[in-house]
Structure 1
Amino acid sequence: MLKAVFFDIDDTLYDTSGFARLARKAALNVMIDAGLPLSREEAYRLLREIIAEKGSNYDKHFNVLTERVLGEEKPLLIALGMITYHNVKFALLRPFPNTISTLIHLKGKGYRLGAISNGITIKQWEKLIRLGIHHFFDEVVTSEEVNSEKPDIEIFREALRRMGCRPERSVMVGNKFTEDILGAINAGMSAILVNSELSDDERDRIKREGLDVTVVQEIGEIREIL
């Protein structure tokens, strides 16, 4: 019988990609209105390139943007972009419709709940707090504190250790096939893929290797499985 359910955070518990895209575009619009000499399409393309280069956890994307466009950092434009981005992000930050009811269901069934995330510890806790769901989780394990990123099995092993749970009695819920699903399976856990479409190669691999993974379209379906 399962004892623990672990969740990825971004794009599993809430729509990270959707709100981030809207917040970034709103920030760029303000920066352009204040003098950034780019079209909206050019600005968004360049910002995406910078994010891909520096990583999503880098906190100076707008600094790099102004430096590349204008040859130097522009504090006013940077501040306008950052404030707009955070204001829009916090206004839009909501869990997926069935996230809270699913967490309540699992707690009611006696499961221990954990989160395993590639990210900065404080930022991941901040997301859970702003989403209003931090109190559901017994443990939150991040790549920053473990010095190991999914799909490396070490971050899963550390999460299991903290929860005092054997891998065969645990399941990982996530939206990324390689990072969340294969990482968990390699650590001896079962897995549930949510909010993601499998490629033909991934489906063939699941069948060929007999991987212990269940695919659902949205998080609420987990209540019918666990």
Structure 2
Amino acid sequence: MKKAIKYIFFDLDNTLVDFMGIKKMCCSAAVDAMIKEGLEMSKKDAMKILFELYESYGIEYDKIFQKFLIRVMKKIDYKILARAVYEYRRVQLRHLKPYPGVVHLMKKLKQEGYKLSIVSDAPSMKVWLRLFETGLAEYFDFVVAFDETRQKKPSRGVFRLAIKKAGCKPHEILFVGDDPMRDVHGAKAAGIKTVFALYGLVPKYKKCVKSISPDYVIRRPSELLDVLKRINGD
């Protein structure tokens, strides 16, 4: 039987990997390291300021610890900075991994003939690094990232580029993501069927969920296989 869906687009962070969970773990380790190196501040206050800066500059901002040190010390102490970056990277490499069931899901999707891609607001280099670090890179044909379009989801330009790269029609694509506005609203506006990954929902987006109507909702990655069976009439 011919499949109704040819391509599956995935968001990466909080859809395939627990990005925010790892981010908090990495920042916690970095703050502990800075305090050990002489930062005179409570961990609670340091974490609060750090995530306020992420809110202002973006969660992918590369120089967040420089901004943090300038904010709290009025200068950059490079020993403290280096220790923070080292601990952040060490924890990230040790703990960054896919959600349970994701690797099995990717293998199954490829076996069944689906083509897969990533549509992310992160820069291309960071997306591919995370995919290689988590062992997922081999499953994806291409990535659409912020540096290609200079736009972020739910901008239509992001989805238009992804559709063009896929070489198929919007109704032949399924989008899986955790963000009600960026992922679900953005993909639906582009004519793509949507799957809301409830397991990756960041608490601050809970208020948005009721106003967005995804075509399907999954509570764990493996449920995507059931969604595809329903779409294909299996």
Q: Same fold (TM over 0.5)?
A: yes
**SS, match of residue 176 in structure 2:** strand
| Matching residue of 1:109 | 112
Residue 210 of structure 2: which of 203, 208, 212 is its match? 203
Whole-angstrom distance in 2 between the partners of 1:75 and 1:106: 46
Seen in structure 2, the aligned counterparts of structure 1 residues 151 and 36 have a Cα distance that, compared at 3 Å, is same
Offset of residue 200 of structure 1: 6.7
Partner of 2:47 in structure 1? 44
SS at match of 1:35: coil
Deviation (angstroms), 1:203: 3.0
Q: Which residue of 20, 24, 27 corresponds with 2:27?
A: 24
Distance 1:205 1:115, change over 3 A: closer
68-77 vs 8-17, which deviates more?
A: 68-77
| Residue type of the alignment partner of 2:210 | R
**Which one of the candidate residues 164, 168, 171 is aligned to 2:167?**
164
The one-character-per-residue Cα deviations of 1:77-124 (angstroms, maximum 9, x if unpaired) are: 000000000000110011011111111111111111111000111011
CA 1:201–1:43 in structure 2 vs 1: closer, same or farther (change >3 Å)? closer
Distance 2:37 2:47 in 1: 16
Is the Cα contact below 8 Å between 2:123 and 2:145 reproduced in 1? yes
2 CA distance for matches of 1:123 and 1:200? 29
Residue identity matched to 1:203: K
Unaligned runs of 5+ in 2: 229-234
Cα displacement (A) at 1:202: 3.6
Which amino acid in 2 is paired with 1:125?
A: W
CA distance in 1: counterparts of 2:208 and 2:145, whole angstroms = 29
Identical-pair percentage:
29
Q: Relative to structure 2, which stretch is displaced further, 139-148 or 112-121?
A: 139-148
TM alignment of 1:121-136, pairs within 5 A: 121-136=124-139
C-alpha separation between the residues in 2 aligned to 1:148 and 1:50?
21
Which residue number in structure 2 is paired with residue 56 of structure 1? Answer: 59
Moved more, 4-13 or 100-109: 100-109
Deviation at 1:66, TM superposition (A): 1.4
Aligned match for 1:221, one of 220, 223, 232: 223
Amino acid across the alignment from 2:135: G
- Counterpart secondary structure, 2:175: strand
Distance 1:133 1:182 in 2: 26
Mapped contact 2:175–2:187 kept (Cα < 8 A): yes
| Aligned residue number for residue 209 of structure 1 | none
- Post-superposition offset of 1:174: 0.3
Supply the distance in 2 between the matched residues of 1:205 and 1:62 (Cα, whole angstroms): 35
Deviates more, 1:13-22 or 1:53-62: 53-62
The answer to whether the Cα contact below 8 Å between 2:180 and 2:212 also exists between their aligned partners in 1 is no
SS at match of 2:210: helix
- Structure-2 residue corresponding to 1:11: 14
1:46 counterpart SS class = helix
Give, in angstroms, the shift of residue 3 of structure 1: 0.6
Contact (CA 8 Å) 2:30, 2:87: kept in 1 or not? yes
Shift of 1:201: 6.1
Mean Cα deviation higher: 56-65 or 8-17: 56-65
Question: Which residue of the partner structure matches residue 72 of structure 1?
Answer: 75
TM-score, reference length from structure 1:
0.93
Q: Distance in 1 between matches of 2:87 and 2:208?
A: 40
Shift of 1:70: 1.5
Cα displacement (A) at 1:168: 0.5
